[in-house]
Structure 1
């Protein structure tokens, strides 16, 4: 019996998925594969699909979202109080998944970390900062004192927004362990999402929005564009969807009370024709 065909997500999207899968297979045994892009550039969507393809089974993919209060004790291992009131050592999410990978070396396992830079990454990863790239060397766990080796068949895949202020705190020690794949806004993936729902003239104007901003801000477009093509994912028709998207989401990203407007505000306002609810194509 032939194996089922790999589902397609559109030409441009499939190219990005394949790129991430290839990086995971080539470098996932010694680096953290990091997908970097502003919100709405598809990095989480593509990361989940790629993770499942690398693992070969969604049950061997685990997701965690970092935040400001994420700790080493949660992620690697810590101390807990059990039902009897005793203090016991308990593995964190990473060690649980790593142990499964060590026990099943013939299989691939993936840990997908969303919003990597939101946490104090150096503190959360602890010893992993050193041993994620040298997986033949065991380290001694802080609380259990047991020797631990990072499984060579465990892939660490992460996403982060390089424009977050917290991303500026990523130090050089962590950057050396990252393989960064950039995810800019992409008109090809935009077409993959919407070409079946919207007429060609509307798609042309939507794609023109991104190309216009990139032409005006070529050096900063990738890192400072306030949104990516994914912001249009729920659009099903030109009106009222594109008008409501402006009114309810986009304009609030550009102009906020008591805060300087986004540096691309004037360019985005000029390039987005659906700001006027009475807009009609000439």
Structure 2
């Protein structure tokens, strides 16, 4: 076997490998980044912002926006974060999920250029450092879907020190290092109250974070449909379905107004049912068949399904169709023509 060379291998660029991003991809990436940094803020008189500020003034470390899917929790949370924060760079956003761990949120090991591993600060430790460097600036950590993981395990030692009366107190993290949670850090989060991890979340955070309900809104539903040019009769029919769903005893079927966003026409409403709404209700009612059947009837009363055209029966030997039309003409001859053969 040939001995290994000691010379460095020629470095390969993305262009050499044929996987370099196109100009269009780069433009899309940077435009998305600019759009994110330019998130609209809420007016100070907005009812939700007023309630969030009231909760913070009461001494809560942050606020959880709780509500069923489609109520705009994430939309509001992002705008609240940018309204409360001192500047756009003072906001960090993270989404929790089932496999999210302490090592993703606090401190974790990452590979180094030398081939080993080094300890690396993650989202929470980084925003704590940012807030400590700018004590006069309000910093906001936005956690989307906070109930999707084991929150107590993800926060670890920091769970105790996010309380406002323990801010600035030094504590020891898993690596043995020291850390503090600055007083100018606020936590905003979103939560679906029907997620599996909600019970554990309540125990861990009920004393630390206030909870504000963001519920389905008929007013928002009308505003969304009107903005897309839906006719008044379509809006009225969608509202009747929406109102009936909100009156159901099974709270898991009370989905938000955003789920009806595409119901701007007869065809749009039928597609919304077939592609999205029907499947949501089937899942929410998998142990409550009667409720699904009732919702389905309510929907079809307002938006009846298109009548399916029955396919004609296939003609078989001796069928009525064959007796009426006679046998198939041979050799491509026209119907009713005489086919002759040479003797």
TM-score, normalization by structure 2:
0.69
Residue of structure 1 in register with 2:224 after alignment: 193
CA distance, structure 2, for counterparts of residue 264 and residue 161 of structure 1: 21
Shift of residue 263 of structure 1?
6.7
Shift of residue 167 of structure 1?
2.0
Decide which of 246, 262, 266 is 1:214's aligned counterpart. Answer: 246
Contact 1:21 1:53 in 2 (8 A): no
Residue of structure 1 in register with 2:316 after alignment: none
1:1-282 correspondence runs (5 A): 15=46, 17-19=48-50, 21-23=52-54, 25-26=56-57, 30-133=60-163, 134-146=166-178, 148-196=179-227, 197-217=229-249, 220-221=250-251, 224-225=252-253, 227-235=255-263, 237-255=264-282, 259-261=286-288, 264-272=291-299, 273-274=302-303, 276-277=305-306
What CA deviation, in whole Å up to 9, does each residue of 1:226-279 have, x standing for no partner?
Answer: 5210112344x31211110001111111225x944567423422332225236x
CA distance, structure 1, for counterparts of residue 124 and residue 41 of structure 2: 31
Shift of residue 149 of structure 1?
1.7
Give 5+ residue unaligned stretches, structure 2: 1-38, 308-343
CA distance, structure 1, for counterparts of residue 181 and residue 232 of structure 2: 50
Shift of residue 171 of structure 1?
4.8
Contact 1:213 1:264 in 2 (8 A): no
For residue 165 of structure 1, give the secondary structure of its aligned residue in structure 2.
coil
Contact 2:41 2:79 in 1 (8 A): no
Contact 1:25 1:54 in 2 (8 A): no
Residue of structure 1 in register with 2:329 after alignment: none
For residue 247 of structure 2, give the secondary structure of its aligned residue in structure 1.
helix
Corresponding pairs, count: 262
CA distance, structure 1, for counterparts of residue 130 and residue 117 of structure 2: 25
Give 5+ residue unaligned stretches, structure 1: 1-5
Residue of structure 2 in register with 1:3 after alignment: none
CA distance, structure 2, for counterparts of residue 151 and residue 192 of structure 1: 40
Contact 2:111 2:118 in 1 (8 A): yes
Residue of structure 1 in register with 2:4 after alignment: none
CA distance, structure 2, for counterparts of residue 151 and residue 269 of structure 1: 52
Contact 2:248 2:254 in 1 (8 A): no
Contact 1:31 1:156 in 2 (8 A): yes
Pick the structure with greater CA Rg.
2
CA distance, structure 1, for counterparts of residue 261 and residue 90 of structure 2: 28
